[in-house]
C-alpha cells in the first residue's frame, strides 16, 4: 500500500508565478489535510478537505491560496502570484476517518521562490 | 501563539540512555499526538493519547498526559542512533469544529550519539 505521494518534491518559482502542489492520499483515505512548515518551526494547519468538499480552511491565507480535492485525481494546493514569504515546505496528510485519527504524511514539497 | 510548546528544544544523549520530551498546551483537547520527523522527510505518527487516558505505551515509547496541567511527556527508553530526529506534539483542540485539525508545537530535536 503506497503511502501519501506528493509531487514535485522540489519546486522553484519566480515571484509572481503560480505554484501547483499535488497530493495523492493513501488508498482508501478520503480525508486530506495540508500543512506548511517554515524552517526550524512546527507545522501550521492550512486546510482540511474531503472528496469534493472544503471542510475547514481557517488556516489558509485569504488571498492567492486555494485548494481542491476532486472526485477523481489528487488534491491540489495552488498558490497564485507567489512571493518570497511563500517559500516553505508544504506537507499533505491523509486519514481514513478524519477527526480523531492519526495522520499519514507525505514527504512534502519544498517550494523556493526566487 | 502555538498551542503546543515542547521542552527542551534540543536534546543530545548517548545511545542506550533514555530521552524525555515534554509538551504543554493551552486549551482543552480531544486528543494529543506525537510525531517524529527525520530531516527532509514527512512526519511519522508515533502515538495518539485521548483526553480521558493518562498513559500509553508502544514498544520503547511511553506517553503520559496530565490534562489538569495541560501537559504531556514522551519517553524513549534505551535510545538508538536511529532515534535521532525531531519530535513534535500536536493537539486536536476541543471545540475546534471537530475537524481534526492538529496544532503542532515547535518540536524537540533529539540527537542520539552512538
The more confidently predicted of residues B94 and A77 is: A77
pLDDT tens digits for range A11-70: 999 999 999 999 999 999 999 999 999 887 789 999 999 988 999 999 999 999 999 999
- pLDDT for the residue B2: 43
Q: Which three cell numbers stand for residue A94?
A: 491523509
pLDDT tens digits for range B10-62: 999 999 999 999 999 998 899 999 999 999 899 999 999 999 999 999 999 99
What is the pLDDT confidence band of residue B93, given thresholds at 50, 70 and 90? Answer: confident
pLDDT tens digits for range B70-92: 999 999 999 999 999 999 999 98
Q: Is the pLDDT of residue B4 over 80?
A: no
Q: Which of A4, A42, A90, A109 would you mutate first to test chain B, the one with the most B CBs within 10 A? A: A42
Contacts with A73 (C-beta within 8 Å, 6 or more apart), sequence order: none
Asked if A42 lies within 8 A of B88 by C-beta distance, the reply is yes
Asked if A55 lies within 8 A of B99 by C-beta distance, the reply is yes
Closest residue to A98, CB basis, from B41, B100, B102: B100
Phi, psi of A103 (to 5 degrees): -100, 145
Q: Is the pLDDT of residue B98 over 80?
A: no
Amino acid at each position: 500500500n503506497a503511502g501519501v505521494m506528493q509531487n514535485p518534491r522540489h519546486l522553484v518559482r519566480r515571484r509572481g508565478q503560480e505554484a501547483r502542489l499535488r497530493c495523492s492520499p493513501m488508498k482508501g483515505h478520503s480525508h486530506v489535510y495540508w500543512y506548511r512548515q517554515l524552517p526550524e518551526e512546527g507545522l501550521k494547519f492550512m486546510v482540511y478537505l474531503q472528496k469534493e468538499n472544503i471542510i475547514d480552511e481557517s488556516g489558509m491565507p485569504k488571498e492567492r491560496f486555494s485548494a481542491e480535492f476532486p472526485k477523481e485525481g489528487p488534491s491540489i494546493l495552488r498558490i497564485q502570484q507567489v512571493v518570497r514569504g511563500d517559500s516553505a515546505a508544504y506537507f499533505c496528510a491523509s486519514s481514513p476517518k478524519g477527526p480523531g485519527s492519526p495522520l499519514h504524511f507525505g514527504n512534502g514539497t519544498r517550494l523556493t521562490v526566487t | 501563539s502555538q498551542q503546543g510548546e515542547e521542552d527542551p528544544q534540543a536534546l543530545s544523549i548517548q545511545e542506550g540512555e533514555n530521552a524525555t520530551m515534554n509538551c504543554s498546551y493551552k486549551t482543552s483537547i480531544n486528543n494529543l499526538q506525537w510525531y517524529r520527523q527525520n530531516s527532509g522527510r514527512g512526519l511519522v505518527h508515533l502515538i495518539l493519547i485521548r483526553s480521558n487516558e493518562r498513559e500509553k505505551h508502544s514498544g520503547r515509547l511511553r506517553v503520559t498526559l496530565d490534562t489538569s496541567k495541560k501537559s504531556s511527556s514522551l519517553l524513549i527508553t534505551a535510545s538508538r542512533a536511529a532515534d535521532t530526529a525531531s519530535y513534535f506534539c500536536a493537539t486536536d483542540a476541543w471545540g475546534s469544529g471537530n475537524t481534526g485539525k492538529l496544532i503542532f508545537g515547535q518540536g524537540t530535536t533529539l540527537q542520539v550519539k552512538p
